[in-house]
Amino acid sequence: MATATATRATTLTASAGHLADRIGWVATHTPTICTVPVLAGVHLDITAEGAVATTGDYDTWARVDLDIDADGTGQVVLPARLFASLLATLPRTLMVTLAIGADRVTVSCGATQASLRTLPAEDFPTLAAWPEAIGTMAAADLAEATRQVVDAADTDSSYPGMCGIELTLSETGLMATATDRYRFALATAPWTPVLANDTDEHKALVPATVLAQAAKAMAKAGEALGIGLATGQGAADVLALYGDGLRLCTRLIGSETVGWDRAKQFLPEMDTEITVATADLVDAIRRVGLFAARGTAVRIVISPGGLVVSAGADDESTASEEVAAEVDTEQDEIRLAVRPDYLLLALTAPRRERMRLSLGAVDRPLLVRTDDDEETGYTHIVMPIRQP
């Protein structure tokens, strides 16, 4: 039988909006498929100091502090997604009361009443100690860095090393990179080590979606966050993020990935530099890209006078558009073919008015940077498509 534990009948009261936001966030880390039924639940631990909500599986855990009033102590596990969905529908300005019974929790808010059957609290796994923070940084900076690179990470689990964002923390700052073999994205941000004499380079290959979601949520919740790493057998195997009442702990990906040191070896000497207004090139690629079959390329002709973007086959519908650009090249004409979605991501991720494109031979990687890349630290490499 599903049971809750409490010193006596316990009642919790909190703002509906507060609970909806906090429970909603931890519920996103509930496993979609649960071989252990209790892992589909959110664990509430009510103590004299307050309440904490925890969800997760054996790879990723999310935990939030709850601002509540309670008249007792105890533990209860509720079906996470149902509980979160219910809270999301309640008027945010009203108060919610949770009355914990032997095997049910009654939720009351205004005219709404619901009864949720609990899951066995005694079966909920006990978490190991979370790693201490090795450094701190602005939550918005981590969110922005991960946003700029997350779409370049692979989604094919057959290549686990490509499904993560690699964080490198060193004296020069934090560097976030991601790749799916056809493109490589890099973004940087400042961070502050806890120990002033920490000159080590810390690396962590973090599941991309988990990191991006957590960083975004923590940027909304507060201004600063802590980064913790737990080390096992000489290498970091767990990463923890500590935000304003939000905490996330996730196991790292054990496979190797293509880091910046390896990626930059594929860049040839660049003999063509292009500076262009981002909006002009993006709009042209979006319009012309409508004429490119799914997964195929748009063609870009580069000359000292500017760019021409085109797509479509001679026996089908075609489109082309001229784009004004500053081109520094010794070649009369360069023809390049790239996937439009890849190039659009590279151009739009940093949200800058002007971008720089650099290339050597047409079958070598295209380097996309901001016009002030030394300040932003943004770099995106896109592999061209070979044309017959």
- CATH number assigned to the domain comprising residue 200: 3.10.150.10
Domain boundary among 123, 152, 184: 123
Q: What is the pLDDT of residue 301?
A: 95
Q: Are residues 205 and 305 in the same domain?
A: no
Q: How many residues does the chain have?
A: 388
Q: What is the pLDDT of residue 234?
A: 52
Token couple for 273: 């530099």
Q: What is the pLDDT of residue 372?
A: 85
Which range of residues forms the domain containing residue 176? 133-262
In a domain, 82, yes or no: yes
Give the residue among 297, 341, 291 at the shortest CA–CA distance from 316.
291
d(CA 296, CA 161): 26
Q: In 22-49, which positions are buried (b, 16+ CB within 10 angstroms) versus exposed (e)?
A: bbbbbbebbbeeeeeebbbbbbbbbeee
Q: What is the pLDDT of residue 2?
A: 55
Domain boundary among 262, 296, 311: 262
In a domain, 143, yes or no: yes
Q: Are residues 278 and 373 in the same domain?
A: yes
Q: What is the pLDDT of residue 34?
A: 79
Token couple for 257: 């990935």
Q: What single-letter amino acid sits at 93?
A: T
Q: What is the pLDDT of residue 206?
A: 95
| pTM score | 0.88
d(CA 26, CA 85): 12
Say which residue the tokens 């800058």 belong to.
352
Say which residue the tokens 């520094």 belong to.
328
Beta bridge partners of 10: 100
CB 96 within 8 A of CB 14: yes
Q: What is the DSSP annotation of 252-283?
A: PP-S----HHHHGGG-----EEEEEEHHHHHH
Q: What is the pLDDT of residue 157?
A: 83
d(CA 55, CA 31): 9
Number of domains in the chain: 3
318-321 long-range contacts (CB < 8 A, ≥24 apart) are: 318/291, 319/287, 319/288, 319/290, 319/291, 320/288, 321/284, 321/287, 321/288
Segments of the chain with pLDDT less than 50? 1, 6-8
